[in-house]
Amino acid sequence: MLQDGLRGALNQSALEPAGPQAAKVTHLWWFALAIATTVYLLTMGALWWAAHRARQRELRGEAAVGPEAEQGMTRGVTYSIAATIVILLIFLVTDLSVGRTLSPVPSKHPLTIELTGHQWWWEVTYADTSPHGRFTTANEIHVPVGEPVLFVLQAQDVIHSFWVPNLAGKKDLIPGYTQSMWFQADTAGLYRGQCAEFCGLQHAKMALHVVAESKADYQRWVDQQRGTAAIPTDSAARRGREIFLTGTCAMCHSIEGTSAGSHAGPDLTHLASRRTIAAGTLPNTRGALGGWVVDPQRIKPGVRMPPNMLKPQDLDALLTYLQSLK
CB of 293 to another protein, least distance (A): 12
Question: Which lies closer to another protein via its Cβ, residue 142 or residue 160?
Answer: 160
Q: At what angle do helices 69-102 and 20-59 cross, to 10 degrees?
A: 170
CA nearest to 113, candidates 126, 97, 99, 100? 126
CA nearest to 222, candidates 232, 211, 233, 231? 211
Report how far apart, in Å, the C-alpha atoms of 57 and of each of 60, 63, 64, 69, 70 are: 5, 8, 8, 14, 16
Under the binding rule (CB under 8 A), the answer on residue 92 touching another protein is yes
Among 227, 257, 287, 301, binds another protein (CB under 8 A): 301
State the Cα–Cα distance between residues 95 and 102, nearest whole angstrom.
Answer: 11
Using the 8-state DSSP alphabet, how is residue 231 labeled?
P
The CB density around residue 38, as the number of other CB atoms within 10 Å, is 11
Residues 70-89 that bind another protein (CB under 8 A): 70, 73-74, 76-77, 80-81, 84-85, 88
Question: Which lies closer to another protein via its Cβ, residue 167 or residue 225?
Answer: 167
Under the binding rule (CB under 8 A), the answer on residue 64 touching another protein is yes
The amino acid at 174:
I
Half-sphere exposure of 86 (CA within 13 A, CB side): 7
Question: Which lies closer to another protein via its Cβ, residue 34 or residue 127?
Answer: 34
CB of 216 to another protein, least distance (A): 29
Half-sphere exposure of 2 (CA within 13 A, CB side): 8
Residues 200-219 that bind another protein (CB under 8 A): 200-205
CB of 214 to another protein, least distance (A): 26
The amino acid at 171:
K
Under the binding rule (CB under 8 A), the answer on residue 154 touching another protein is no
Question: Which lies closer to another protein via its Cβ, residue 200 or residue 290?
Answer: 200
CB of 289 to another protein, least distance (A): 17
Q: Is the peptide bond before 120 cis (omega within 30 degrees of 0)?
A: yes
CB of 271 to another protein, least distance (A): 20
The CB density around residue 156, as the number of other CB atoms within 10 Å, is 15
Residue 123's DSSP bridge partners are: 116, 138
Under the binding rule (CB under 8 A), the answer on residue 199 touching another protein is yes
Which one of 122-130, 134-142, 162-170, 285-293 is the stretch in contact with another protein (CB under 8 A)? 162-170
Residues 122-141 that bind another protein (CB under 8 A): none
Under the binding rule (CB under 8 A), the answer on residue 245 touching another protein is no
Residue 190 backbone phi and psi in degrees, to 5: -110, 125
CA nearest to 113, candidates 207, 222, 216, 10? 222
Which one of 209-217, 231-239, 246-254, 315-323 is the stretch in contact with another protein (CB under 8 A)? 246-254
Residues 101-120 that bind another protein (CB under 8 A): 102-103, 119
Which one of 69-77, 106-114, 139-147, 208-216 is the stretch in contact with another protein (CB under 8 A)? 69-77
- Residue span 173-192 as binding mask against another protein, x where in contact by CB under 8 A, dash where not: -xxxx-x------------x
